[in-house]
Structure 1
Amino acid sequence: IGLTPQLICKFMAQFGGCTAVLHSALSVGERYDSWKRIRSGEARVIVGTRSAVFAPAQNLGLIILDEEQDDAYKSENSPRYHARDVAKYRAMQENAFVLLGSATPAIETFYGAETGKYPVLHLRERYSGAALPRVTIADMRGTIQQGYISAIGPVLRQAMQRCFAEGHQCILFLNRRGAAKQVTCPSCGWTPACPSCSVSMTYHSVNHRLMCHYCGKSIPVRRTCPNCGSTHLKWEGTGTQRLETELQQMFPERKILRMDADTTSTKGSHAKLLEAFAEDQADILLGTQMVTKGLDFDRVTLVGIVDADQSLFAQDYRARERTFSLLTQVVGRAGRRQTQGQAVIQTYHPQDEVILDAARQDYERFYEAEIERRRMLQCPPIAQLVVLTAVGECERDVLAALVAVKQRMESLMAGAFSDFCYPILGPAPATVVRVQNRYRYHLTIRCPDNKRRRALLDGILREAGASRNFRGVTMYADVNPMQI
């Protein structure tokens, strides 16, 4: 949704009134008007988010998935579809073409290209012949001992000063909103946790409240520790709000725009922020993932990645791919015209291969190492993962339901489904076990996609849904989920 304003301007300039827009931020009336124009054939170009793949286009000829590697193309709610799969199915049904575009293709997509599933076209040069940005890896180890307590290290600060002196703009990427990751008591170790979710709450300085980014619960900040009474609470980690404050103190004469979920919650806020930045009303655009891809500004010659390690060590087999993609994409926002850009990657792991490959913007080298890891781990695209998740308010009931389902599946695999026999892992907790007072555990199966798998899962889910023993427990299956 954040990218649609720029895209719409380009498409309207090229195709005029035959362009329609579809995404969830539109009002019901606006979506209905777009739907009618598409259905009637008046609108021949449709621009939208993942749900636009279902647009009632007449005589469909081409489907383009820009930034096809993005997790947002996978729906986390029922039906749990991937827009890429729907696009391929629609293209097959209507004899149309599908174009998957990305500077950092999903590992599954590039594997398909390497194995002959898709033809691949390489774009070796940037638009208008612009040079790739120079990338500097700034080692943040030891900076605190040297007296640098700000999230902006000395290398990035000097680069920003040069950028402003030359009359250019910069983009800063920090994938954490709020002011501080968490509040802790250094005396006893107390940390405020969300009462409804198994995560710590994030401090937001704008309203001086703690907020849970999973359920949205908000509570006032305590000035004293409820355990030991200490008044010396510590704010750990830096979010976009706190970084904005630091930047205002560091560069008081510079205008800063912050783009995250807190500043873009109202309708049209994305477009207003991007328009203001494009019109030189600000020198710094600070944001979360919203600023990493698709943005195209003439005067942006510097990109700074404040915390490149944040997603690198997540408990997810896609963590390395996600980190490489984010870093490479945001580096690409710099120097998109005649002036060569520069990017500074701040990291505490300067020798990590993912960081080095992103700095070199060498996708092929990253892919070769990553596909080997996936082959050893038997993860997609080498093998498919099916995750059966159970959700309920009573943790014991959730675990009991999964144990019963596992035993039932193993029994079927030993009998009627003996031709489809694969190990079942779990029950295991989800990355965040409790969200909105509902516990989440899952079973994982590595197995190929065929009729027998679909028949087995369909029967199991129907049995679980009809069983009185599983009342209060919801169960669903997801194939190759983006997050487990």
Structure 2
Amino acid sequence: MSDCPHCDAHLVFHRTDRTLRCHHCGYQAAVPRACPGCGSLDLRPVGKGTQRVEEALAEKYTEARIARIDADSTRRKGAAASRFDSVHAGEVDILVGTQMVTKGHDFQRVTLVAALNPDAGLFTHDPRGPERLFAQLMQAAGRAGRAAPGPTEDETVTPSTPEMLIQTAYPDHPLYRALAAHDYPGFARAELTERERGGMPPFSFQALLRAEHRRTEAVTEFLDQAQDLAAPLARDLGVTVYPPVPASLARVADVHRQQMLLEAPRRAALQRFLAEWRTALAAQRTPVRWAVDVDPLEF
């Protein structure tokens, strides 16, 4: 795997111009002739990005008109509008795309939607991950049912029934069962029960202190100070202060990022804590860039 020299992330292979790119900082490099680690010439792309899906479909369905809509294929001005126009005009048989395809577009004659390997949304550090996955899949499913073919001149021809296929290693997962049954209320009840047992929002209230700097030592020192300042206030107000941890993407463009989570059973207690704590933080002389995110949606 090729890693970005400036981020804690892998580079992504773009077949169109044969470059390796970082989707976080914009770094790009040519594909090496040999593996930098072992010198092997046997290099091949791995994964299932939209380009590889498009190629596999083209090999399987040689007569089909296939269009791909993603950030890479729509970089040029007007490219996205042109491709969407082709879809609306009925000039596309199979449309391959990322989440951007499912948002706000009403495609006519779409009767089949397939979601490839959405299982990552089931096992995420974000407690709202399953909720987001359910919403995304429901939105994608709406593409198939939004405008199925209407009546034809030949009344014996029955329009295709809209369908959605999901590629998963966990077909019996409660989320997929609820999705198949169109049972959002049941899914929501199960999620709320699980969150209540774990003391997670909306049954608790959270804030996240984010800190970043080019020197990781500076970030660590700042968060240690923040934790020391928080301890007496948290004890008096019943606020839980969790130890600092690296962000989910700990380094972006050579900037190191860490965070510290705070949690309280009552919003009033959290707000009072934050009012005093942020004042104390602001009085610290530090080169670190920091911010407090109340009710964080990303971790």
Q: Which residue in 2 is equivalent to 1:279?
A: 89
Unaligned runs of 5+ in 2: 151-158
Q: CA deviation digits over 1:403-450, x for unaligned, max 9? A: 111110112345xxx2x2311002011111111111111111112333
Identity between Structure 1 and Structure 2 (%): 34
Q: CA deviation at 1:458?
A: 4.1
Preserved contact between residue 119 and residue 168 of structure 2 (Cα < 8 Å): yes
AA paired with 1:211?
R
CA deviations 1:348-375 (Å, max 9, x no partner) are 1111111222222211111111111111
Which of 197, 203, 213 pairs up with 2:7?
197
* Runs of 4+ residues deviating >4 angstroms: none
Call closer, same or farther: CA 1:461–1:352 in 2, change over 3 Å.
same
Amino acid in the other structure paired with 1:247: L
For 1:454 and 1:265, locate their aligned partners in 2 and report how far apart those are by CA, in whole Å.
43
Distance 1:412 1:342, change over 3 A: closer
Residue 239 (str. 1) matches residue 49 (str. 2): yes
Offset of residue 326 of structure 1: 1.5
Aligned-partner Cα distance in 1 for 2:199–2:294: 14
2:28 aligned with 1:218, yes or no?
Answer: yes
Specify which of 425, 436, 443 is matched with residue 253 of structure 2: 436
How far the C-alpha of 1:265 sits from its partner, in A, is 2.9
Tell me the secondary structure at the aligned position of residue 290 of structure 2. Answer: strand
Name the CA distance, whole Å, in 2 between partners of 1:481 and 1:207. Answer: 38
Q: Distance in 1 between matches of 2:234 and 2:183?
A: 44
**What amino acid maps onto 2:171 in structure 1?**
P
Query: Which of 205, 217, 242 is residue 425 of structure 1 equivalent to?
Result: 242
- Name the aligned partner's letter for residue 263 of structure 2: R
* CA distance in 1 between partners of 2:88 and 2:122 (Å): 31
Is contact 1:374-1:380 (8 Å) kept? yes
| Counterpart for residue 205 of structure 2 | 384
2-structure distance, mates of 1:249, 1:234? 18
Relative to 1, partners in 2 of residues 1:237 and 1:393: Cα closer, same or farther, differing over 3 Å? same
Q: Residue 156 of structure 2 corresponds to which residue in structure 1?
A: none
Aligned-partner SS, 1:249 = helix
Is the 2:68–2:95 Cα contact (8 Å) retained in structure 1?
Answer: yes
Matched residue SS, 1:303: strand
Q: Post-superposition shift, 1:307?
A: 1.6
**Of residues 126, 130, 135 in structure 2, which corresponds to 1:316?**
126
Q: Is the 8 A contact 2:34 2:40 kept in 1?
A: yes
Check 1:413–1:367 CA distance in 2 against 1; reply closer, same or farther (3 A cut): closer
User: Secondary structure at the residue paired with 1:477?
Assistant: strand
CA distance in 1, matches of 2:59, 2:28: 28
Distance of aligned partners of 1:413 and 1:308 in 2 relative to their CA distance in 1, 3 Å threshold? closer
| Amino acid paired to 2:132 | R
Alignment of 1:162-177 (within 5 A): none
Give 1:228 deviation, angstroms. Answer: 1.3
Q: Secondary structure in 2 aligned to 1:200?
A: coil
Q: Distance in 2 between matches of 1:295 and 1:405?
A: 46
Aligned to 1:88: none
Separation of aligned partners in 1, 2:206 and 2:192 = 16
- Per-residue CA distance 1:438-473 (angstroms, 9 max, x = gap): 1111111112333x64454244334434422x22x1
- Where do 5+ consecutive residues of structure 1 fail to align? 1-190
What does 1:10-21 align with in structure 2 at a 5 Å threshold?
none
* Cα distance in 2, alignment partners of residues 234 and 298 from structure 1: 37
8 Å Cα contact 1:300-1:333 kept in structure 2: yes
TM-score, with normalisation over the residues of structure 2? 0.89
Partner secondary structure for residue 145 of structure 2: coil
How many residue pairs are counted as aligned between the two chains?
287
Give yes or no for contact 2:4–2:11 (8 Å, CA) kept in 1. Answer: yes
Residue 370 of structure 1 aligns with which residue? Answer: 191
Question: Whole-Å Cα distance in 1 between the matches of residues 267 and 78 of structure 2?
Answer: 42
For 1:312 and 1:209, the matched residues in 2 are separated by 31
TM-score by length of 1: 0.56
Question: Which residue does 2:173 correspond to in 1?
Answer: 352
Task: Report if the CA contact (8 A) 1:210-1:219 is conserved.
Answer: yes
